[in-house]
Amino acid sequence: MEKVLIFGVGGFVGSYLSREFIEHGYAVIGTDKTRSSILPSEVGFYESDLLETEAVEGLVNKIQPDIIVNLAAISSVGASWNIPQTTMQVNVVGALNIMEAAKKSEKKPKILFVGSSEEYVISDFPMNEDRPLNASNPYGISKVTQEQFAKLYREQYGLKIYCVRPFNHTGVGQRDSFVLPSFCKQVAEIEKSGEPGVMKVGNLKVKRDFSHVKDIVRAYRLIVESDNCELIYNVGSGNAYSLEEMLRYIVSLSSQEIKIEVDQSRFRPTDQPVICCDYNLIKTELGWEPQYTVFDALKEMFENYLRQ
C-alpha cells in the first residue's frame, strides 16, 4: 500500500484530501501543529512544525512516503497583507524544507505543491495556464516563488514535483474568516435567532470562481498520480459568480428578513474584479471535471451552521 504524507493536514482541506486518498487505497499520514477533530480516524498523525527543518527531514525519513502533499500555508489573501513576512516564511521556506527532506530521502517521493489563481496577471476572461504570472498580493507572490523553487529542484535534483493552481474553493470546515463561510454563518445565526437581522459585508461586486472542496481534492489526487510533473494545472469550476449572487442565494435559504450593509473597512487593498478558471487542460489530460457547484457547498455550510 502506497503511503501519502500530508503536511498541514489539520487545515480545512486536510480532512477532505485524507478521505480522498484513503478511499483510493492509500495509507495516509498527516502532520500539523495540532490534530484536527474532523480528521478521519484512519489517518496516522504526527505533530510537527513545517518551519523546523530537522523535524521535517526526520519525519520524511521515518515515514518514507511515496507521495508528499503540502497543504500547510498562509492561505488567505487578506491575511497575507497583514503578515507578509510570515506568508513568505510558511509558503516558501516551508516548501523548501520539504524539498530538502525529499532530496535527501532514499525513496525520492513525489511532491505536490498547491499554488493559486492569485499568481496570474489580472484578466476579466477565464484564465488558462498560458496566462502570464504577475501576482499582485503577498500571498500570490509567495506561491509564484514556491513554483520557481519547485522548478529548480525538479531540474537540478530530478525530483518529481507537481504544482497545481486551484481557484477559490469552499465547503464545510473552512474557517469563517473566509468570505463564504462568514456569509453562511451570519445568515444561519439570524435564522436561528428567529428575528430580522443585519449583515456587514465588503465588496460584493467582485466575481469569483468557487469550487466545492471535494472536486479540488479529487483533482489533487489525479495530478500527483499522473506521469508528467512538468505540466501545471488550473483547477476550478469554470464559472465566476459575484459575491452578491452567492450572498443572495444564502439569504434565500433563511426565512428571516436580512438587511445588507456594505462596510468599506472590509475592502482589500487590491480586489481583482473577476477571477475565473479555464480548466480545459486538466479535463483534456486527466479527464477531471467538476461534480458539484458552489451552491451545493453553500447549502451544506448553511445547514451545518444551523445544526451547531
Distance CA 260, CA 62 (A): 53
> Per mean pLDDT, which range of 36-40, 69-73, 144-148, 235-239 is the poorest?
36-40
Distance CA 23, CA 29 (A): 14
229 shares its domain with 250: no
In degrees rounded to 5, what are phi and psi of residue 101?
-65, -40
Task: Give the model confidence (pLDDT) of 106-133 as tens digits.
Answer: 999 999 999 999 999 988 899 999 999 9
Mean pLDDT across 203-209: 92
Q: How far is CA 129 from CA 77, 227, 254, 264, in A?
A: 21, 18, 39, 33
Share of the chain above pLDDT 90, in %: 90
226 shares its domain with 243: no
Task: Give the model confidence (pLDDT) of 46-100 as tens digits.
Answer: 999 999 999 999 999 999 999 999 999 998 888 999 999 999 999 999 999 999 9
Per-residue pLDDT at 276:
96
Mean pLDDT across 132-146: 96
302 shares its domain with 284: yes
165 shares its domain with 255: no
35 shares its domain with 47: yes
**How confident is the prediction for the chain on average, in pLDDT?**
95
* Dihedral over Cα of 213, 219, 223, 226: its sign: positive
Per-residue pLDDT at 270:
57
- Is the Cβ–Cβ distance between 74 and 83 less than 8 Å? yes
Cα 39 from chain centre: 16
182 shares its domain with 98: no
Closest CA to 245 of 278, 293, 277: 293
Distance CA 78, CA 76 (A): 5
224 shares its domain with 149: yes
Run of H or E including 5: strand 3-7
185 shares its domain with 268: yes
Distance CA 77, CA 103 (A): 30
98 shares its domain with 45: yes
Task: Give the model confidence (pLDDT) of 248-299 as tens digits.
Answer: 999 999 999 999 988 877 776 556 789 999 999 999 999 999 999 999 999 9
CATH number at residue 271: 3.90.25.10
Q: 196 lies in which domain range?
A: 172-208+239-307
CATH number at residue 151: 3.40.50.720
- Domains held by the chain: number: 2
Task: Give the model confidence (pLDDT) of 7-55 as tens digits.
Answer: 999 999 999 999 999 999 999 999 999 999 899 999 999 999 999 999 9
What DSSP designation does 120 have? B
| CA 299-302-306 angle, 5° bins | 135
Place of cell 502506497: 2
